[in-house]
Amino acid sequence: MSHEILSRRAAPLFGAAALCFSGSVQADTAAVDIRDGAPTGFASPNTTHGWVFTVREDAFLTALGMYDDGSGVRPPHPMAIWRTNSQTLLGGATVDRQSPIENQFLWEDLVSPIALEAGVEYTVGVFFPNPLEGEIVFEDGFHQFDPLVQYEGFRRVAAGDELTFPDVPSVNRRHSFGANFRFSLVPSPGTSVVMLVGLAAISRRRATFG
């Protein structure tokens, strides 16, 4: 059998594989959902508000989001994600009035997804510039974390006129949520290997008996 015929017969198989692989990746999921009627307030100017979290499975962080009640933000709000223990900056984005809004958050996709390791602490934060601008949601049972995201505590810092790693923990139960992120799970490598081996075997059999 010619390579051309084999390629034509194998192409649909690997096309189907590509569809399967793309379907095995979880669609982007928001880490936090906010219920309607949540109590809100304004963040202090020149502060970075954030919170610490871990993920229960390896994942890719794909976008950063900031809470908005629908009125829109005027000045740009820089956002970032850090590795908590080392305060290493992993990536960031800037949310502004042009950012698309969905489920009460303004979103900006990252240029490149950031790999999140299960069990490792990360911090996500958003900077509120001066003049006072941008609302935050206070914890009163009006938010819900995705089951794969473990909340580890609120952080903030007053640090002049730029985004800074928020390293001051909350001293009371009133936590605030201005920052959010979207993530997708890393597909299981075992599933991909099994599918490839099976498709390769089918391709060889067709080549032999075709």
**What domain range includes position 48?**
29-189
Q: Is residue 196 part of a domain?
A: no
Contact at 8 Å (CB) between 180 and 32? yes
Distant-in-sequence contacts of 170-175, Cβ < 8 A, 24+ apart: 173/139, 174/138, 174/139, 175/51, 175/138, 175/139
Q: Is residue 18 part of a domain?
A: no
Contact at 8 Å (CB) between 90 and 45? no
Structural domain count, the chain: 1
Give the CA diameter of the chain: 74
CATH of the domain at 44: 2.60.120
Q: Is residue 23 part of a domain?
A: no
Cα torsion angle, 151, 157, 162, 164, sign: negative
Q: Calculate the CA dihedral of residues 53, 56, 59, 64 and round it to 10 degrees.
A: -30
Q: Is residue 12 part of a domain?
A: no
pLDDT in tens, the chain (210 residues): 443 433 334 344 334 333 343 344 456 999 999 877 777 777 778 889 899 999 999 999 999 999 887 766 668 899 999 999 999 999 999 998 889 999 889 999 999 999 999 999 999 999 988 766 666 776 667 788 999 999 998 898 877 789 999 998 876 656 777 899 999 998 866 544 444 444 454 445 444 545
- Extended strands (E) in 84-210: 88-95, 101-102, 105-116, 122-128, 135-138, 143-145, 149-158, 168-169, 176-177, 179-185
Q: Is residue 115 part of a domain?
A: yes
